[in-house]
Amino acid sequence: SLYFWWMVSEKTLILSTERLHQKLNRIAHEVHENHFDNKELIIVGIADRGYVLATLLTTILKKISDLDILLYELKVDKKGMLKEINNQELEKAQLSGKVVLIVDDVLNSGKTLAYAVKHILDYPVKRLCTVVMVNRRHRLYPIRADYVGLTLATTIKEHITVDLEKGKEVVYLS
């Protein structure tokens, strides 16, 4: 019984705080390199951890570029994907003709990211890109990440945890 508990609760550090920030910096430089010719960039973070990562990414991009960056949070009902979502702040955003980046922490089956993409495609955006910290490649939906911090080969039973406590941002495999 004690042995079973240890096996279930064991966590392996995949990305330290320093490495996670290195990955975010690399992603920010790639985004800047690919979109420097635009005046404005819209970053949409999927609540909750995707939005925290989007906030960190926005901070870096504002330091390294002169892009006008607008940050929004997209709240997705992960259990009832067919329900209408109410994102008034995003609804008021002028997404038409803009480059939009959707940010999430982990891309696993693709369900959450696909639903977020569907919501953004209600607007005539110029270009839509996806950003994830960890890509697990267990797709059930035809979606991919354009910018990836780390790609991991995992089993379906393994779990990725992105812990984004301020100053202690880490990724665990359990």
Alpha-carbon distance of 143 to 29, in angstroms, equals 23
- Helix (H) or strand (E) holding 92, with range, is helix 88-92
What is d(CA 171, CA 154) in angstroms, rounded to the nearest whole number?
A: 14
101 bridge partner residues: 43, 129
> Is-contact 75 119, C-beta < 8 A?
no
Are 89 and 72 in contact by the 8 Å Cβ rule? The answer is: yes
For the chain, 174 residues long, give each residue's pLDDT as a single digit of tens. 444 444 455 889 999 999 999 999 999 999 999 999 999 999 999 988 999 999 999 999 999 999 999 999 988 876 655 444 556 666 666 788 899 999 999 998 888 898 889 888 888 899 999 999 999 877 788 899 999 999 998 888 888 989 999 889 999 988
Closest CA to 72 of 1, 120, 6, 133: 120
Q: Tell me if 116 sits within 8 A of 46, measured CB to CB.
A: yes
* Rg of the Cα atoms in the chain: 17
